[in-house]
Amino acid sequence: MVHVYNCHPFCSQQIVQVEQEPGMVCCGGGALFVVATGGCKVEAYSVEREGCPLICRFATMGTVKSIQHSKIGDYLVTIEEKNNATYLRAYTNWRYQAEEKARVGVRLLGHLLRGASVRGGVQMEIIEIPLSERPLAVACCSITGDLLVGCENTLVLFTLRRQNQQSLNQSQQILQSTWPNSQQSSSQSQGQSSSSNQNVSILDFERSVILHLPKIKPKRVALCGGYVAVQAELEVLVLKLDASSEPKTRGESSETNKADHLEDQADFLVLPRHQELLGDRAKDCDIPVSIEKTGLEDRGQYTLSYVLFRRFSPDFFQGCNVEETQLHSLQLYPLFTSNQSVSLEEPACVFCFFSLPTAGYLYSLKGGVELLSAYQYPEKVLEAVLTDHLLHVITKNALQCFTVRCAAVAARIEDPYIDTTMKACPPCSLEVCALRMQLFIGLRSVCVYGRHVILLSTADTETPEETERTTQRRGLQLKEHTMLTGIFLAVGIDPATTPALESLLSRPFLQQYPRSVRSRKWTISSPKETSSAGHGWNLYVVDTVTPLTLYQEMIEYSQRYAETNPQAQSLRHLLSEAHLLLRASLLQTSGQQQNSEGDPAAPLQTDADKPAEKQTAVQTDRQELEEALGQNCAQLGDCFSRGSQNDCHLALPYYRMSGLSVTEVMARNRPHPSSPHSYGAGFLFYLKHYLLEETEQILSQEAADEVIDIFSQSEPSQLVSVCASPSMVNMSPARTLRILQHLEDTAGVSVPLTITMATMMLLLDDLPQYTQLMERHAEMLLVYGFIEESRLLLHGGGGGQHTHIRPTALTRQLAKSHPGLLVAAMVALHENNKVQLEQADHIFKELGCENCLQVDFWEAMLMASSQDAVIQELLFRLASVYIDRLTNSNSDAHANAPHTPSRRKPLKSADDLINSCSHYGGLYPWLTVLSPAHITSSQHLEALHKLQSLLCGPSLSVGSVGPLLERLSEETLWGFSLHLLCATRRGQYDRSIEKLLDRCPQAIIAYANHQLQDKNMALWWQKLLPELCNRTRAAADNSILLSALKETLVVVAMETSPTEFLELIPDDGTASYFLPHLLACSQRHLLA
């Protein structure tokens, strides 16, 4: 479906004062090129200046049959005929023909001239490009300046080369040394002028690659950034050429043999079937392509891939003649995004357009091939041209514009946030629309440069060729009718008696199909020429309005729909068209500076100060376009805010892109008092997302109360989430409490609603009512309520770990009155991914509880968490805290510094943690012997027991806390116990036994009974017994050592044989002392 809007895309037109009747035209580089009828002279007119003054004129070497301009290199390429021969020529430096009697150099491809060319290329050059076949079509790449030539069954690609003046001088010196007598006088003059033209580059072409297409005859070709498009009468093929350094074998030559059978089918009627093959499927078409590389300098190989194939089948009953079934207007169009440079030679988007007389087709080629738009024309279209903003088409008597979807594709490539809740853009599949048409008489051709549309019209209604063709067609129709009637009569059917057959025979058949359908033999068809006895002609330059002006007219036009039906689909469609128009303009303005830098004509057309002025103008235009885009987004947001449920979500990204505040959006969506409509689904969707996100914009009390009213009327179930939003801190608590109480009366009691009401009571300083509401539910139910709506406790944190997060008033109150509930809630939020560990730490620091509640939170987290990384982090933090507490209390027991730990009792004691958390191990029995004789504080003892418990547990890594324990001295028994624990955990039993015997021998038996078991049992007699014997020998009256020795001998006698026991007795030992133990060992051995 094509929408039609009566907007005016054209602002003015002027007639180009051409002396002779134009035969064909083309444009580029700010110039309009007119080929006079007869085709041997080209005139260039400036389309960027008022009145289109003449730039220059020059004669061609033959009759011009086709002409194209290349933006890169600023050259013209023509297909010319002379003496029944066809030539391909390129015209460079054509602007210098503005000088009177300027010289012209003619040379062959690859052969650079001496003389004027060497002096800097300050004259026009005609480059003769030899071909082995007759050229049929030609195209220039708008990105690289390369040249593509379509011949009978081949495509030849020429690469544009530039050679600077310095290299030319070097080659000239070589030539002069080889030919010393060659024009010495001219070389002297060259030396004088070349010094001022060292930076001028000379253009040349190199034949790069040849593509063989035996099954298709090019009528038109296109080239853009490696994409090659070929158009036949009813077929379009798009290929992608990529340079590759890998060697490639010539294995495609066998494909050309498939065309041999076509000669046998020349006498048959071959009806092509309709086909559309996109992407990788395009290689399944029946058109083989082979590569022949001919480049001399470029050593790289080329790889070929199929991109798109489209074949059309003519309709028997369409009633079209031969010309009406042919494709035309093939075009490859690149589009760069604003964050690209044109010099990259890799456009973000490439589009392919081609057209039948009744329909046009626009495809996107990069990032997946897809059909963007199909244009249904109201009447037969002769030619069409695609631009950034519009598609211009001409019929015989009108110029019409259609909108395009190129900007929608480019926007999605440029911005990855398109089609999210952050940003939006109308879809690529949006139906196109036609704008107002402009009437002309006898239009023949159209071309476009920037905002200038050039039209060639002639008043001839029918040329002699068309008259002759009509006569031949009528004769053929009569012959067909007679032949088919005879066939029916031969089989006994009289068509005259059957109205259906009579109607069928009255239709033309064979002439409906192009020559390529009736016969595959090659025929030469010369283009139509204007009659010499013409009745008049005109060459128009029609200027289109600026995109901003057209946008404003679209907005004015949309007001008609907004006044009658604000939810009309046409209003949304027109605003979407305006949006894409602005996006295309922003893409164009971002590349204007880059394009002007690459325009070779700029130095001849502008003064030194004009580039700066142009850049300022571009910046100003961009600001205006961005402001207009913001306004358009606001209008689209208004449309979707009142739209249906299917697309109401689009109100959110459009309102965000508009830059409007939430207060402004609310003002735009207030229903009129007389309107029966309430708030739209899109507006509520926007408002909910705004309140759910953590933004810094805080609503005033008036706006916050209005939000409460909106949701109390539209979605009361969302009131708890609305009240918990950080943007709503200024709402009236008393007024909100009444609404919440009404909600509770109607919807029933819920835990989040009760907590929200308690928060309102807290804001009203009604602590008794707050306490009463909080005591309605058990602590675990309150924790579930906080999980359901975490923003009752925390504001911020929606952006990740490093996002600023802050406690609410309820959180501060819980820290004072219900610290256990707060810790349990924070643990639950962490385990449900509502808050991260660092964010929770920040909350406790904000509350001033980093020395108490924060540690309680870590201990609770250690009990609840199952993530190994979190557990190890918590173990290290808790060990550090316990060591800090021990260090601070030991260094200054009476200090009143700010860093002194809080006196509040921890939520969990050491015994609680040992009993409830597997990471806290039970205290070893020998640690009780090492307990200090007197304790300075209960917190000191609590920290000591918790640290000892962690060291006795299975999870804490001794290596991670070892450096921290160095801060603790071994002078005290509790400090010694911690170091001894670490040494034991490391397996240093020998050293531990020695240190324990030195510091606290009374604990050695308890230590040995617990630690020297199983695989360490041998240490009783290998280490402990010798140590005790040696120490007892030195201090025979030491009762502690004697008692320890006796206990050790009992254990050794139980674990060894009599022989082993005898070997362990020292030589100087008293027999009476060891004999009872030896006897016990022998008795045990006999019983065993």
The letter for the amino acid at 701 is Q
**Three-state SS at 764:** coil
Query: 170: pLDDT confidence band, cut at 50, 70 and 90?
Result: low
Structural tokens at position 683: 């507006």
User: Containing H/E element for 400?
Assistant: strand 398-403
Structure confidence by residue, pLDDT tens digits, 985-1010: 998 999 999 999 988 889 999 999 99
Residue 106 backbone zone (phi > 0: left; psi -120 to 50: alpha; other: beta):
beta
Quick one: pLDDT at residue 339?
66
Strands 54-59 and 63-70: unpaired
Tell whether the model's pLDDT for residue 779 goes beyond 80: yes
**Cα separation, 80 vs 40, whole angstroms:** 9
Side-chain-side CA neighbours of residue 884 (13 Å) = 13
Tell whether the model's pLDDT for residue 797 goes beyond 80: no
Quick one: pLDDT at residue 597?
42
Quick one: pLDDT at residue 896?
44
Helical ranges in 748-867 per DSSP H: 751-763, 767-774, 779-788, 809-817, 819-831, 837-846, 853-864
What mean pLDDT do residues 401-415 have? 91
The DSSP letter of residue 273 is: P
Tell whether the model's pLDDT for residue 533 goes beyond 60: no
Query: Who's near 865: CB < 8 A, 6+ residues apart?
Result: 830, 831, 871, 874
SS (H, E, C) 825-848: HHHHHHHCCCCCHHHHHHHHHHCC
Query: 295: pLDDT confidence band, cut at 50, 70 and 90?
Result: low
Structure confidence by residue, pLDDT tens digits, 490-504: 656 666 666 655 655
> Taking a C-beta distance cutoff of 8 angstroms, is the pair 762, 770 a contact?
yes
Cα separation values, 648 from 543, 681, 686, 785, 894, Å: 39, 6, 9, 30, 66
Quick one: pLDDT at residue 299?
53
Quick one: pLDDT at residue 262?
42
Considering only CA atoms, which of 659, 589, 574, 653 is closest in space to residue 619?
A: 589
Tell whether the model's pLDDT for residue 899 goes beyond 50: no
Tell whether the model's pLDDT for residue 408 goes beyond 90: yes
> Taking a C-beta distance cutoff of 8 angstroms, is the pair 32, 44 a contact?
yes
> Taking a C-beta distance cutoff of 8 angstroms, is the pair 810, 793 a contact?
yes
Nearest-10 Cα torsion for 941, 945, 950, 952: 150
Percent of the chain with pLDDT over 90: 46
Quick one: pLDDT at residue 900?
43
Considering only CA atoms, which of 819, 810, 763, 772 is closest in space to residue 789?
A: 810
Quick one: pLDDT at residue 516?
37
Following DSSP, what letter does each residue of 1032-1063 receive, concatenated?
HHH-TT-HHHHHHHHHHHHHHHHHS-HHHHHH
> Taking a C-beta distance cutoff of 8 angstroms, is the pair 219, 138 a contact?
no
What mean pLDDT do residues 526-554 have? 74
The DSSP letter of residue 281 is: G
Quick one: pLDDT at residue 256?
38
Tell whether the model's pLDDT for residue 803 goes beyond 80: no
**Cα separation, 868 vs 104, whole angstroms:** 82
Query: Who's near 448: CB < 8 A, 6+ residues apart?
Result: 27, 385, 387, 392, 454
Count CB atoms within 10 A of the CB of residue 859. 25
Query: 675: pLDDT confidence band, cut at 50, 70 and 90?
Result: low
Quick one: pLDDT at residue 74?
92
Considering only CA atoms, which of 363, 383, 379 is closest in space to residue 371?
A: 363
Considering only CA atoms, which of 93, 125, 95, 124 is closest in space to residue 110?
A: 125
**Three-state SS at 589:** helix
Structural tokens at position 1062: 């005898």
What mean pLDDT do residues 5-15 have? 88
Considering only CA atoms, which of 15, 12, 52 is closest in space to residue 536?
A: 15
Tell whether the model's pLDDT for residue 931 goes beyond 90: no
> Taking a C-beta distance cutoff of 8 angstroms, is the pair 655, 686 a contact?
yes
Give Rg (Cα) of the chain.
46
* Long-range contacts of the stretch 688-694 (C-beta < 8 A, 24+): 688/715, 688/718, 688/721, 689/421, 689/652, 690/662, 690/727, 691/721, 691/722, 691/725, 691/727, 691/728, 692/721, 692/725, 693/798, 694/726, 694/795, 694/796, 694/797, 694/798, 694/799, 694/803
Query: 1062: pLDDT confidence band, cut at 50, 70 and 90?
Result: confident
Quick one: pLDDT at residue 141?
94
Instruction: Look up the pTM and report it.
Output: 0.78
Structure confidence by residue, pLDDT tens digits, 84-122: 899 999 999 898 887 656 788 888 887 776 654 455 456
Phi, psi of 493 (to 5 degrees): -115, 125
Count CB atoms within 10 A of the CB of residue 709. 12
Where is mean pLDDT largest: 7-11, 479-483, 766-770?
766-770
- Name the residue with tokens 């316990």: 882
Structure confidence by residue, pLDDT tens digits, 692-740: 876 778 899 999 999 999 999 999 999 999 999 999 999 999 999 999 9
Count CB atoms within 10 A of the CB of residue 108. 11
End-to-end Cα distance, the chain: 103
Query: 531: pLDDT confidence band, cut at 50, 70 and 90?
Result: very low
What mean pLDDT do residues 813-822 have? 93
Quick one: pLDDT at residue 605?
42
Phi, psi of 585 (to 5 degrees): -70, -40
Count CB atoms within 10 A of the CB of residue 169. 17
What mean pLDDT do residues 1020-1041 have? 85
User: Which of the two residues, 544 and 678, has the higher pLDDT score?
Assistant: 544
Tell whether the model's pLDDT for residue 902 goes beyond 80: no
**Cα separation, 450 vs 543, whole angstroms:** 9
For the chain, give the mean pLDDT: 82
Count CB atoms within 10 A of the CB of residue 483. 9
Longest dimension (CA), the chain: 150
Considering only CA atoms, which of 99, 83, 93 is closest in space to residue 113?
A: 93
